[in-house]
Amino acid sequence: MTMLIEVKRQKSNNKCTIGRLYVNGVFQCYTLEDVVRVNKIHGETAIPSGEYDVVITMSNRFKKLLPLLRNVPNFDGVRIHAGNTDADTEGCILVGESAGQYSISNSRAAFGKLFAQMQKADSIKIKIGDA
């Protein structure tokens, strides 16, 4: 079965972009990304809206299996992982069970639930856009 993940972004504030993540149309958790910008600033810019294939591969940085978004224009190594603030992401998508204005929380629990579902899927697509 193909899993469809949708990230519906809220408007960026001056530190980050909070969103909601849905799996096959059902709300799963909140997201935190860097600020959405027209001109990319390395390590401080959210990836472009669009649809991407996701594969689970070994992360050299984190030394464990993590979801990787493929073929993101002008970005390399974009993953979905645990983290709480913009300091924890360099273009990646962080997930959490609750969200504030500048942070998310219970990220490890949220990631664990999401990753368990992802590991059961035959293929994974992610669609990222505005809410």
80 neighbors 29 (Cβ within 8 angstroms): no
Fill in the DSSP letter of residue 81: E
Q: Measure Cα distances from 79 to 7, 101, 104 in Å.
A: 13, 22, 17
User: What confidence tens digit (pLDDT) does each residue in 7-28 have?
Assistant: 999 999 999 999 999 999 999 9
Better-scored residue on pLDDT, 90 or 105: 105
For residue 116, what pLDDT is reported?
Answer: 98
Tell me the pTM.
0.95
